[in-house]
Every structure is written in C-alpha cells, then in structure tokens.
Amino acid sequence: MTENHRSMNEPLDSSRRSFLTKLWLLLGGVALAGYSSAVVAFLRPRKTGGTSDDSARIIEAGPVERFHPDSVTAFIRGRFYLCRLDDGGFLAISSKCTHLGCSIPWVEDERRFVCPCHASTFGISGTVLNSPAPRPLDLYPVIIQNNIVRVDTGKAIRRGRFEASQVVYPRKI
C-alpha cells in the first residue's frame, strides 16, 4: 500500500517541484531585468538643460539696485549665488563645491563659502582660500540688460583661476 501511495504522489510532487522551479526562474529573470535597467540608466549620459527654451534656464535676479556692493544673495532655484563685489561688479557662482560636489553655504560672519564636507573655503569671488578644493567655484554667465540682472544657468563655466574679465559690470548711465 505504501508503494501505491508513493507512486500516486510522485507525479504530484514532480509537478509541484516543476512549478516552483519555473516560478523561481521567472522571479530571477524579473530581478535580473530590473537590475540591468538600473545599470543601464546609471551609465547612460544625462541630458543637460532638459529643454531648449532659454526662458527656463535664464533666471531674472532683479534690478541692479537691489544688490548692495560686497553682498551675496542665494538663488535656490538656480543653485547659485549672485555676488556683488566691492567695486559693483557681479559674479554668479555655483553652489557646488569643486572638490566633491557638496552644496556650499555662504557664511556671512566669516565672509566666505565653507564646504561642510571637507572644509574647503572660498572667497566672495569663488577663489579657493583653503583646500582640498582643486580650483575656484564654477561661474554662470551674468547678463545685465535695462538695469536688470539675469543669470544663464544653462551651463556652468569651469575655471582654473579668478580673472577680472569674469566680472560683469552694470553700464553707467
């Protein structure tokens, strides 16, 4: 009787085993597909700008008079700081550290940008005051038209050092 019982259960056991094997293979295939798509998405180059519309990347900061000499104004949406130097010139400085890309805050009491990740510090013009940052902070082009300051955040300008030609001045009226 036990032999009969065994022979009747064998097809049932093998079909259950076969079903579970197919199920595990299917789940493994789904997991592999998900992992593969994540790897491909990670390795694919990012689209820059996202849109060809200039209005999406040009941020209107405001009238020249709004920004006092020797001041720094944060623009969260554009991820930059608009710096007005002592002589009245403007620089739009990226808020991303050139060492490892951490967001850097302006510390008003110290009159400098301080990276919270590795303590790099930068002056109001973005120059490196304390390493490990290898170069000055990146810039965005500043446009002053009709006494209104605008910043083109479409592409950051990588620079090796600060130069006076990087500063944009309002026209004298």
Note the pLDDT tens digit of each residue in 91-140: 999 999 998 889 999 999 999 999 999 889 999 999 999 999 999 999 99
Dihedrals phi, psi of 53, to nearest 5 degrees? -75, 120
Of 36-40, 50-54, 117-121, 122-126, minimum mean pLDDT range: 50-54
Q: Is beta strand 142-145 parallel, antiparallel or unpaired with respect to 106-107? A: unpaired
SS3 26: helix
The pTM score is: 0.67
- Domain residue ranges in the chain: 1-44, 54-166
CB 86 within 8 A of CB 70: yes
The domain over range 54-166 is classified in CATH as 2.40.30.30: no
Work out the average pLDDT over 45-56. Answer: 57
Does residue 168 have a pLDDT over 90? yes
pLDDT at 9: 53
Question: Which positions ≥6 away from 71 have C-beta within 8 Å?
Answer: 83, 84
Amino acid making up residue 11: P
